[in-house]
Every structure is written in structure tokens, then in C-alpha cells.
Structure 1
Amino acid sequence: MPYVVTQSCCSDGACVLACPVNAIHPAPGEPGFAEAEMLYVDPVTCVDCGACATACPVDALLPHTKLTDAQLPFVELNATYYKDHPHADRSPLALVPRHRASSTEGLRVAVVGAGPAGLYAADELLKLPGVEVDVFDRLPTPHGLARYGVAPDHPRTKQVIELFSKIEREPGFRYRLNVEAGTDVTIEELRSSYHAVIYAVGAATDRRLGVPGEDLPGSVSATDFVAWYNGHPDADDARYPLDSERAVVIGNGNVALDVARILTADRGRLATTDISDRALLALGDSRIREVVVLGRRGPAEAAFTLPELVGLAALDDVDVVVEGDVSVTSLKTEVLAELASRPRRPGRRRIVLRFHAAPARIVGDERVEGLEVVRTEVVDGRAVPTGDTELVEAGLVLRAIGYRARPVPGLPFDEQRALVPNDGGRVEAGLYVGGWIKRGATGFLGTNKSCSKETVERLLDDLDAGLLPTPTTVVPPFEYEVDHRGWLAIDRAERALGEIAGRPRVKLTDRVALRDATTPVRADALRGRLRAGR
């Protein structure tokens, strides 16, 4: 097999379009594309041209001769996909033709949210002549979960930001950062100033457990914890109890594995990443030696993706332990069974994957002291409690059972599904949604590309039908607004500080420092203070 997709795949489909022989599936428009854990290269069809590797924004495609030992399982993973999905029809991918609107000259669109969904939507719009796009975000920095959600020890996945940098340089693109829609500018003001408004605000909160003791100190959201170690300004003052030997993560999706990895990671290795300085110092003093990751159902139903599991299994400085027997029914359970058979190495930090276990209550007087867990069995695909309970001692409990969107002022909201009701992204003429606020918290970074394309198609349909309103006002600039030049200044400042520390960047984590970095004189003073350790 000449080229192989590895674990950092973002599934945006750029490689599919670049491949001259239709060797990468599932492709956009094919069943399973939006839900696939990753894309796969067909070993029979691939002609080793390298076009896919050039197009990939996160360097996920490599020649088989350049794989590390940890990446070798992906050779079988790619090949096995085609055993189950042979793709007998080898005709070239039928590309969707570009939408031909009556005229896009002078079309002005506001995109609320500067994360992947918002930037992919801007990219689709700016492919059309004469379109202007203003991207708003309440933070002074863009890129959303690509900056504040991807684990710091996954630097290749973060390379998608380089793609976003190209979008930011497109003619007609403008940043209006540090401006909060709904507070600084109302939805009515946006709608009267633009032909259309696309909300791509993501899912900013987490799902609750609904068990006693959930609000005890030491019971925290994995969403907030991830924001903290990634340097999100909203989490700059957060503190977490890391003074016990065990932590428990409830949920076994990719976020749960990220949290477990960061809590047990070698501190020297973390010091080479862009992790928040405050998190790096706190984790350096951490006493945590074991992280237990709980899944309500069995190994076969685990929510984490196979690529993330393969990456976890490749850790050489942490013991990954799987409790109980594992029946091999898939590649995922095959990896889990191999982990279950590994001998345990004394003295190593441990990540324990425990299945058939659900939280019953969080125990403690003034803070978390443990978690009562009830054993479950899977009946018709559901985890059913058996009544057998166990107390797991822990000083930190993190819930990682999924993201949840918040209601958006001025937009309808479905509380049960935690999204804005829409038809392919269309709420009504002139008002649209994209990303997680549109489809719920599902998919991967690259899933937002096809999602945003669909939303833009609905917008252009309304343009063709003459349904878009004509702007009558202009949203004026705000004194505290950060434009593209301001973001580039922040980026330069962070990279310069990172160069001093031997890291890719040192993130500025409070709003005052971020604002100072946009002004050359203040940026120089800021760098001087940080060099001096003040």
C-alpha cells in the first residue's frame, strides 16, 4: 500500500478531491462520509502519486515506508475497510457542480463563530465573485475547537489552522473578533446590515450526569477541563484538585481519552506542546497516578474512535489497562483484547479502561472523595444497571459524556436535541446555521466542510429566489474589536514567546494580554514581562 491515512485524519475530504484515481473513501456524498471515524486509502487503486498528501491539511497521509512503529496498525486498518466496503464501482467521484446564483456581486454575509464551521462557510462563500464575509467571534482569537479543543499532544491535527490561515487571506474576508453577537451587536442589527447571517457558534457546554453529588468541588466538566489546559480565556482562573492519586473520567469517547492522556502524560513531553502555562505548572505538581475511564456499555460499544485507541495503545510511558474479558468482534475490540493481555509494569502511570460501569453517585463531604459505580449489562443495545455497586476512591471526577449547544438569542431552539431547528442549515430566508448548532455535537473537524457547503447552498437558493433582504445599515466598528491584523499580531507574539521557551507557541490566556498583543508597543512590553517571569 503506497499511502496510508493515519490517526490525525480530519475527514474534510480535500484528499478525496485531489486523488486522480478515486482511491479514498468514503467520499463526500457517499454513505457514511459524515459519520466515518476517518477516511481510508484503497491499497489496490492507489498509484503512489502523493497528491492526497499534498492536499491534506493535517499531514495525515504518509507513504507506508515512512510510518513509525506506532502507525503501522493503520496499514491493516486502511486495507480492512476495503474488505468490508469493496467499492466495486471505480468510476471517478461525481463532483457537485458549483452553484450558479443569479448574481453574487455585492453579496454581504455575516458569519457568527470563527471556528471550523464558520471558516469553512466563509471559504465556500468567497469562492463566488464579489462576495464579502465578516466573521464575528466573542473571543479575540479565532479557530474555535481547533485552537481550544484539540489536545496539545496532537500537534498534527492542529495543522488544520494553516488551512484556516489561507481562508483568512482571501479577498472579501474580514475578522470582527472580540465582538459578541447577542450582547455587543444584536441579531436584528446583524440582519439589517447583511444580506444573510450564518450562525456557527458550536456547542459550548456539556451534558450533565444527573446523579447525586454532581456539584461537589472536584466534580467537573471535561469540556471546562479541556478549555483550561488549552488556554481558553474563559478558563484562565480555573483550579482543579490534582492532589489525589486517582481521577475518574465518566464517558469513553475521544475527549475522555484526551483528558486521561493529559492527566498521565510525562511532564517533559507536555512542556514541548502549546499547553497552557498554568496547566503545565499545575500538572507538573499533580499527584495523579491513575485515571479510570468508565463506559456504560461493553468494549464493542465504546465511543472512542479506532484511530484514537491505536494512538493510546502506542504510548510507551503509560500503562493502558483494559479490565475484564474482551470478545474480539472488530478491529477495535481486537486492539482492546491486545491491551487486556499486556503485562502491567510497576511504577508507571496508568489509564484504566473499565466497561459495563455507570455512575450512581459522587460521594464526599466538602469535596469529591469517590464515585459509586453500578455494574451494567447490555440489553437491546442499552446499558441496564444490575444493582451491583462499588466505590471507586478518587479526588477528581470529570464528566465527558458529550457537548451540548446553548440557545442562541433570537433563534428558535430544540432543547431536547440541543440545536437550532433547520432545513439543511436554513432557519428562514436570510438566517442560517452551520456546524454543531445545526446538526448537534457530532462529526469531526473536517465534517464541518460538507456541512457548511450544504448551508451555503441553501443561502444561494434563497438568493436565486430573490428572498434575501437588502441591507439598510452597517454595524460600526467597536473600540475593542480585533481584526485580522490584530489576530496576526497575537499569533506572532505567541510564536515568539514559544521560540524563547522551545515550544510551538506560548498561548496568551487572559483578555488583557491578548488585547495588549494587538498593539506593537504593548506587545513588546508584554514579551519583556513574560521573559522576566513576571
Structure 2
Amino acid sequence: MAGAGGRAPLGLRRWLSSPAPAPRVCVVGSGPAGFYTAQHILKHHGGALVDIYEKLPIPFGLVRFGVAPDHPEVKNVINTFTQTAHSERCAYYGNVTVGRDVTVPELQQAYHAVVLSYGAEDNRVLGIPGENLPGVYSARAFVGWYNGLPENQDLKPDLSCETALILGHGNVALDIARILLSPLQLLRKTDITDSSLAALACSKVKRVWLVGRRGPLQVAFTIKELREMINLPGTRAVLDPADFTGLESAVKDAPRPRKRLTELMIKTALEKPEEMQAAAAGAAAPREWGLKFQRSPQEVLPSADGRRARGIRMALTRLEGSGDSAKAIPTGDVEELECGLVVSSIGYRSLPLDPAVPFDSQRGIIPNSSGRVEGVPGVRPVSFSDWEKIDATEVARGKAAGKPREKIVDPAEMLQIIGH
């Protein structure tokens, strides 16, 4: 059996040369999910061999390319992943693109199990007019740019405007806002790329709005990231107290993390910081950021010459339902906001890997049942001890009928007995 170009997959060659066949697992993707999978298999399945395939020459996926450069503590997990990669039962094969250099059917023949943990390589689209104008970026591309993801190295975002708008209320949205507004001396001590640092040094952005379709009780960011944003030096938060009216009582019985997060937003909205008073007295206003709620993007507005984004039109929404299941319904009213930079942070989206693997293009996922890919026959070998379970069941059923055994004739039932 050969891969593209007549080669057997690297992991298969390793197995063929090993002294005794052992359970072999292939993990596609070397991000956190891939390494945690490998770690778990090596720990709980003695003797199993794990091969990790990665399309880039370098490992670690989102730990390297997704975690903000000013969050080095989150990247410490790389040390654990490195230990896993050093295991004699684990092999890493970078610069191998599954679906091109080797196919999934080839991997299925070579391994007992193939785990697809290649992540979401695309972003969800807004589906609105103007989203392809210069000045509009996906969060995935923007984060990839400042984190040194090879495919985003030439992004060169235009940071010549004063106001940026980020669509989304998650931690990634806060990361981007923080990077845009952070003092350069803080960023210089991080692993941010030199070219991104140079671009941020020339940035004119001094105001960032984070916009969400729903309300304060539905934000997806966490309290640690919010607190970090609130405490960012030289920057003030602009939160409208009217957005939080009545929420203290509404959140009283909410889970503790949601309650604390909401209370921090309310406290920040009601505070009158010294900077605000200084600004009112005529002093130069510092950089600022704010949260806008119940606004859904309708159109990115072009500049007069039509060559770039100059603003965004948003539909005002009302909420139907409560909690995480609340839905944003347009009210009919609209609002326009001037901004020269728009970053869409509404989630990532997977792409199909190989024609042999089913893919739901509507939802951007591989159809699965509790993680097992649907529509693909998974090769699950039956051991001799598994057969003995089937044998015992046949004998027990036969005994009840006064026979030596009652043969089971349905293979699905046989597999059910052994838990496959």
C-alpha cells in the first residue's frame, strides 16, 4: 500500500519495522486536541503506538498560533506536549498534509484508529454586503497575523483609523481589542512577531467597540479576560449603565461565574474613573474600549470611493427568551457607526479534509456520534478474548434451550455483546 507518490505512510513503515504489532493510532493535527488525545492513549493503553501528523513543519496548533502573545502562562502546556512527543511510543510527522500527501483510506488501512483533530481552519462568514471590503478581517486571520501563522504573514491590516469595531463578545474578541490598545512596552516583552509590533507602533487606533447581537447576560468571555481588559494601562472602559438596568436581580440565581462576570460589568459601568474626569476637564483622552449590546451587523459601509470600509450599519435587536438560549430578534431600527477597521470574531469553521470523510458543509462539521465519524466503517478488531465473550453468550443461551449452544448469526449483535 502506498501513499501519494508511491510511499507507504511514515507511521506504517515504522509499524512494519517494529518487532511485534501493537495497537496503532494515528492522530491528524498537532494542536491541543491532538496532543491531549495522544497523551491519553499513551497513558491508558500500554503498548499502543501513536503517530501525530501535522501539515505545518511546526507543532502545537492554537497554543502557538491562537493564544495571545501576552498570555505566556497558557503556553506552558507546550512543555507537557514536548514530553509526550519524546515518548518512545509517540512519533511526530510534520510537513505532512493528510488528504494530499497521504489519504484517509490509506491511514485507515495502516492504523487501528484514525483520530481527526485538525481543527477549524476557516472562519464563519457574516453573510452581509461589504464584508469583503479592505479593512474587514476575520478574527482568525487577524490573530494569525500577530501570532506568526505562516498563511497570515502578509495580511498587513490597515491600522490608520481611530475607531475599530470587533463583532463578537468572546475571549478572542477581547484578545484582539487588548492587542490593539496595549502599550507597546508590554507587547515588546512577548513573542509577538516583529512585523506586527512595527505595524502596531504606527497604529492610529485609539477606540475599540466590541459589538454583540445579544445582551450582557449572554457574553461568552470570561471574568479573567474582562478584568485584564478593564485594568489595561492607559485605557478606560466605556460601558453604558443603561445596558445593565435590572440585571443585578436577574442574575441573583445565576451560576456563580455568570453572576460574578455580570457584577464586574455593572461595577465598571457605574464607576467614574479619574481619567474620565480628566478628559472632561480638557485633558487628552486615553485610549478607550466599550461593549455594545443587542446590535446585529447588516452591512459594512464603503468609503466614498468604494475602496474600503468606513463604517457599519447595525440592526437593533430585542431578546426573546432568557439565559444562553435567548434569541436576538431585529426591532426594525438601525444604527450606523463610523469605523475604519472591522474584525469579525463570530467563530471558526472546519473545512473538509479528504473526499473519503463525510462533511456537513451547512454546519461546517464532520457528522459524528459522540465523536465517532458517521458514514465511515471504523475498523475495530475483535480480539480472541472478545470472541470468548460471544462464545459464553452462545453457550448460556443454548443451555437455557437444552442445546450445546445457540449460535448468534447477526454480526451487529456479536459486536454489541463485546461493546463495539
**TM norm. shorter chain > 0.5:** yes
Q: Partner of 1:426 in structure 2? A: 372
- Is 1:140 aligned to residue 57 of structure 2? yes
Q: Is the 8 A contact 2:119 2:350 kept in 1?
A: yes
Alignment of 1:209-220 (within 5 A): 209-220=126-137
> How is 1:217-256 mapped onto 2 (pairs within 5 angstroms)?
217-256=134-173
CA distance in 1 between partners of 2:157 and 2:377 (Å): 40
Cα separation, 2, equivalents of 1:261 and 1:306: 14
Change over 3 Å in CA distance of 1:342–1:431 after alignment to 2: farther
Report if aligned partners of 2:181, 2:206 keep a CA contact under 8 Å in 1.
yes
Structure 2 counterpart of 1:354: 292
Question: Which of 109, 114, 117 is 2:33 aligned to?
Answer: 117
**Residue type at the aligned position of 1:118:** G
Query: What amino acid does structure 2 have at the position aligned with 1:331?
Result: R
Deviations 1:482-502 (A, max 9, x none): xxxxxxxxxxxxxxxxxxxxx
Distance 1:376 1:349 in 2: 28
Counterpart contact for 2:182–2:233, Cα < 8 Å: no
Instruction: Tell me the CA shift for residue 343 of structure 1.
Output: 2.5
Task: Encode CA deviations 1:43-91: one digit per residue, 9 max, x unaligned.
Answer: xxxxxxxxxxxxxxxxxxxxxxxxxxxxxxxxxxxxxxxxxxxxxxxxx
**Residue aligning to 1:481:** none
Contact persistence 1:105–1:129 (CA under 8 A): no
Task: Report matched runs for 1:302-317 at 5 Å.
Answer: 302-317=219-234
Structure 2 counterpart of 1:438? none
Q: Distance in 1 between matches of 2:105 and 2:235?
A: 53
> Distance in 1 between the 2:192 and 2:23 partners?
40
Q: Contact 2:124–2:346 (CA<8 Å) still a contact in 1?
A: yes
What's the CA shift string for 1:455-480, capped at 9, x where partnerless? xxxx9xx34568xxxxxxxxxxxxxx
Distance 1:291 1:378 in 2: 24
Q: What residue in structure 2 maps to residue 158 of structure 1?
A: 75
Alignment of 1:406 with 2:344, yes or no, is no
CA distance in 2, matches of 1:258, 1:420: 28
- By how many angstroms is 1:383 displaced? 1.1
Q: Which residue identity does 2:92 align to in structure 1?
A: Y
The one of 263, 268, 274 aligned to 1:334: 263
Q: What one-letter code is carried by the residue in structure 2 that aligns with 1:418?
A: G
* Counterpart residue identity of residue 396, structure 1: L
How many angstroms apart in 1 are the aligned matches of 2:21 and 2:268?
58
Q: Which residue of 1 aligns with 2:17?
A: none
Secondary structure of residue in 1 paired with 2:314: strand
TM-score (norm 2): 0.76
Closer/same/farther in 2, CA of residues 194 and 316 from structure 1, 3 Å limit: same
CA contact (8 A) 2:66 2:147 kept: yes
- Matching residue of 2:311: 370
The 8 Å contact of residues 65 and 147 in structure 2, kept in 1 or not, is answered as yes
Q: Distance in 1 between matches of 2:383 and 2:68?
A: 44
Write out aligned runs for 1:85-100 (5 A): none
User: 1:141 offset after TM fit, Å?
Assistant: 0.8
**In 1, Cα distance between the equivalents of 2:203 and 2:228?**
23
Give the whole-Å Cα distance in 2 for the aligned partners of 1:183 and 1:105: 27
8 Å CA contact 1:294–1:354 kept in 2: the answer is yes
Shift of 1:357: 1.5
**1:431 CA displacement:** 7.3
- The aligned counterpart of 2:117 is 200
TM-score (norm: length of structure 1): 0.60
Letter in 2 for 1:353: L
The structural deviation recorded for 1:348 is: 1.4
**Residue in structure 1 matched with residue 16 of structure 2 by the alignment:** none
In the TM superposition, what whole-angstrom CA distance separates every residue of 1:264-289 from its partner, at most 9, and x where no partner exists? Answer: 11111101001111111111110000
Q: State the one-letter code of the partner of 1:422.
A: N
1:416 corresponds in structure 2 to 362
Deviation at 1:430, TM superposition (A): 8.9
Larger Rg: 1 or 2? Answer: 2
Letter in 2 for 1:267: L
Q: Is the 8 A contact 2:299 2:314 kept in 1?
A: yes
In the alignment, the residues of structure 1 paired with residue 137 and residue 383 of structure 2 have an alpha-carbon distance, to the nearest angstrom, of 49
- For the 8 Å contact 1:196–1:430, the answer to whether it is kept is no
CA–CA distance in structure 1, aligned partners of residues 365 and 374 of structure 2: 15
Aligned to 2:330, which of 379, 382, 385?
385
Aligned-partner residue type, residue 123 of structure 1: Q
Q: Which runs of 5+ in 1 are unaligned?
A: 1-103, 433-458, 467-534
- 2:401 is aligned to none
> Cα 1:177–1:341, aligned 2, differ >3 Å: closer, same or farther?
same
In the TM superposition, residue 429 of structure 1 has moved relative to its aligned partner by 10
Give 1:416 deviation, angstroms: 3.4
Partner secondary structure for residue 372 of structure 1:
strand
Alignment of 1:166-185 (within 5 A): 166-185=83-102
Counterpart Cα distance in 1 of 2:214 and 2:192: 32
- Asked if structure 1 preserves the Cα contact closer than 8 Å seen for 2:241 and 2:270, the reply is no
Cα distance between partner residues in 2 of 1:335 and 1:427: 42
Cα 1:431–1:306 shift into 2, 3 Å: farther
What is the deviation of 1:217?
0.8
One-letter code aligned to 2:81:
F
Task: List per-residue Cα deviations over 1:255-306 (Å, max 9, x = no partner).
Answer: 1111111111111110100111111111111000001000111111112123
Partner of 2:392: none
The partner residue of 1:298 within 188, 194, 215 is 215
CA–CA separation in structure 1 for the residues paired with 2:78 and 2:126:
33
Cα distance between partner residues in 2 of 1:290 and 1:209: 23
| Aligned counterparts of 1:194 and 1:301: Cα–Cα separation in 2 | 43
